[in-house]
Amino acid sequence: DREEPNYFGAGPALLPTSVLQEAAYDLIKYEQSTVGIGEISHRSKPAIKVIDDTKSNLIKLLDIPDTHEVFFMQGGGTTGFSSIVYNLIGNYAKRNNGKIGKAAYAITGSWSKKSAQEAQRLGFNVDIVVDTKDLKYGDIPPYSQWKSISKDTAYLYVCDNETVHGIEYKDIPTSDYLPEGVELVADMSSNILSKKVDVSKYGVIFAGAQKNIGIAGLTIYIIKKSLIEQPTDDELKSYGIPLVPIAFHFPTVIANNSAYNTIPIFACHILKLVTAKLLENGGIKQIQAIDEEKSKILYEALSKYPTFYHLPVTNPKYRSNMNVVFTLPKELEDKFIKESTEKNLIGLKGHRSVGGMRASIYNAVSLDSVKKLVEFVNEFATNNA
Ligand code: PMP
């Protein structure tokens, strides 16, 4: 057992204590088995049931339509954005007589930037349609101001919530901007299951589990079924497209119910328990309302002291509901961390690349924890401003 932590780490992040307790028990002895969940074959009946139940929970929570498939792969967000390039460019070529499509990237923070760099590194033709570096990643211009996307583009890639910069999309491009046939791909590693999403609008949604929904080791993918098919290896060679390593070859993984190779079943089990608990507690609607309330009271508190706290995401519309990034006078940073830690408010230091503070308030962080942080934010500004 443990005292409920007030933990604001960005990832790996807090998980519900009740889930961890159940999982800890299952790690030692799982259901009728003589051994634990991490010790059973990934092809055994109980393991298959864990995979199927997790899928079914996700389908219910996100209202995933029949047009889309859910699957899991080892790895994290990085495995996601690397493997997506090969698979989607291959699929585009399959549907377009071997033509190599372009990959459009919107850079709104460090994770979308890394994804674009990786696609380039792998040798694909990358088109940067927006880069908000000059806005210090503090705003997202309207789609009408983005570079137009050419029709020979396979997909537009966005990072729905930039974990380091604390900026989150609140809408998606409509057909005015996104040409028909260009698929929308979103990295939702740090905000999946925090809000309602119209899955039908996306070609691919993927998310590493270790922030909002589980522990590291597993990544979830939701993909439009028409995007799964791949050319044969010979076809790929004739098109000049590199072959994707087999463990990341979407059709192979999907045909084997996410267990072509050994799925980290304990990580999947945790995801199953987290999603079951969300369903039990009223689904996405309920958690979204709580998440919105948490970020609202925290941003309001920080905004009360505009000469003391600074919010680098200048457009309030795009402030993340998950990662609340702020700065305060540099000479007071150590004091802020020291005093917050003394009050048992843990994990507030910002990412090393941007400095400042970051309160990650994922689903498992309670409103009560955020209220305690709000109290501290007020108190610290009053005592030090
Ligand atoms: N995308 C986003 C939005 C992230 O926040 C992270 C991790 N912080 C990643 C991708 C990379 O995840 P991983 O470390 O699991 O590869």
Kind of pairing between the strands at 183-187 and 204-208: parallel
* pLDDT tens string 15-58: 999 999 999 999 999 998 999 999 999 999 999 999 999 999 99
CB 287 within 8 A of CB 313: no
Of the candidates 123, 108, 95, the one whose C-alpha atom is nearest the C-alpha of residue 183 is: 95
Beta bridge partners of 105: 128, 157
Residue 132 phi/psi, 5-degree rounding, is -95, 25
Q: Is residue 109 in contact with ligand 1, taking CB distance under 6 Å?
A: no
At residue 73, what are phi and psi to the nearest 5 degrees? Answer: -135, 155
**Tens-place pLDDT, residues 301-359:** 999 999 999 999 999 999 999 999 999 999 999 999 999 999 999 999 999 889 999 99
pLDDT recorded at residue 54: 98
| 325 CB neighbour count, 10 Å cutoff | 29
What is the reported pLDDT for 189?
Answer: 98
Whose tokens are 């498992």? That residue is 364
Q: What percent of the chain has pLDDT over 70?
A: 100
User: Which ligand 1 atom sits closest to the C-alpha of 210?
Assistant: 15
Token pair recorded at residue 95:
């549907």
User: Atom 10, ligand 1: which residue's CA is nearest?
Assistant: 77
Mean pLDDT of 367-378: 98
Look at residue 14 in the predicted model and tell me its pLDDT: 97
User: Model's pTM, two decimal places?
Assistant: 0.98
Checking ipTM against 0.90, whether it exceeds it is yes
209 residue type, one letter? A
Give the active site residues: 111, 187, 211
Q: What is the pLDDT of residue 221?
A: 98
Measuring CA to CA, which residue among 60, 37, 13 is closest to residue 265? Answer: 37
Angstrom distance (rounded) from CA 196 to CA 213: 15
- Atom 15 of ligand 1, residue of closest alpha carbon: 76
Question: Rounded to whole angstroms, how far apart are CA atoms 38 and 92?
Answer: 38
Biggest CA pair distance of the chain: 69
The Cα 237–Cα 230 span in angstroms is 12
Comparing CA positions, the residue from 317, 238, 322 lying closest to residue 13 is 322
What are the residues facing 218 on neighbouring strands?
A: 74
Asked if residue 187 has its Cβ within 6 Å of ligand 1, the reply is yes
175 pLDDT higher than 90: no
Pocket flag, ligand 1, residue 314 (CB < 6 Å): no
CA of 379 to the centre of ligand 1 (A): 33
CB distance 118 to 81 below 8 Å: yes
Q: How does residue 1 score in pLDDT terms, banded at 50, 70 and 90?
A: confident
Q: Is the pLDDT of residue 291 over 90?
A: yes
Q: Please give the pLDDT value at position 253.
A: 98
Statement: residue 174 has pLDDT above 90: no
- C-alpha 299/C-alpha 319 separation (Å) is 9
List domains and CATH numbers for the chain.
17-279 (3.40.640.10), 283-384 (3.90.1150.10)
Query: pLDDT per residue over 141-166, tens digit each?
Result: 999 999 999 999 999 999 999 999 99
- For residue 68, the surrounding DSSP H or E stretch is strand 68-74
pLDDT at res. 215:
97
pLDDT value at 362 more than 90: yes
Q: How many CB atoms within 10 Å of residue 17?
A: 14
